[in-house]
A and B are shown apart, each in its own frame.
Chain A
Amino acid sequence: MFFIPGFVIAAVTFPGVIVHEAAHMFFCRLRKVAVFEAVFFQFGDPAGYVTHERTEDFNSTFLISMGPFFINTLLCLLICFPAYLPMSFFHQSDPLNLLLMWLGLSIGMHAI
Chain B
Amino acid sequence: MKAFFAGVLILVAVSIAWNWKFFRAKAHLTTMNERIEEGDLSGAIAAVDDFHAIMRVEPDLLVARNFWMGIRALANDSAERALELLEDVEATRPGSFNTSDYLISARIGAAFDKGDYDGFLRHSRESLSKRRDDPIAFGSVASAFACLFVTSGDEAYRDSTLEMLRKAKAISTDTSFNEYEQRILYRMHSKEIITRAAFYERFPNGWTP
Residues of B within 8 A of A (CB): 1, 4-5, 8, 11-12, 14-16, 18-20, 22-23, 25-26, 55
Contact = CB atoms under 8 A, between A and B. Distances in A.
Contacts of A103: 11
Nearest to A84: B19
Contacts of A96: 14, 18
Contact of A79 (B12, B22, B25, B26): B12
Chain A contact residues: helix, strand, loop or mixed: helix
Contact of B4 (A22, A85, A97): A22
26 contacts: A18-B4, A22-B4, A75-B8, A75-B12, A78-B12, A78-B15, A78-B16, A79-B11, A79-B12, A82-B19, A82-B20, A82-B22, A82-B23, A83-B15, A83-B19, A85-B23, A85-B26, A86-B19, A90-B22, A90-B25, A92-B22, A96-B14, A96-B18, A97-B18, A100-B11, A104-B15
Closest 8 CB pairs of A and B: A82-B19, A86-B22, A78-B12, A82-B15, A79-B15, A85-B22, A82-B16, A100-B15
Interface in A65-94: 75, 78-80, 82-83, 85-86, 89-90, 92
A79 B8 CA distance: 9
Contacts of A85: 19, 22-23, 26
Contacts, number: 50
Contact of B1 (A22, A83, A92): A22
Nearest to B58: A90
Given A75-B12, A78-B15, A85-B19, A26 B1 contact: yes
Interface in A1-43: 18-19, 22, 25-26, 29
A29 B1 contact: yes
A96 B26 CA distance: 20
A19 B23 contact: no
A18 to B, nearest CB: 8
A21 to B, nearest CB: 10
- Scoring B14, B16, B19, B22 by chain A CB atoms within 10 A of each residue's CB, the highest score goes to B19
Contacts of B12: 75, 78-79
A29 B16 CA distance: 28
Contacts of A79: 11-12, 15
A85 B5 CA distance: 24
Nearest to B12: A78
Contacts of B16: 78, 82
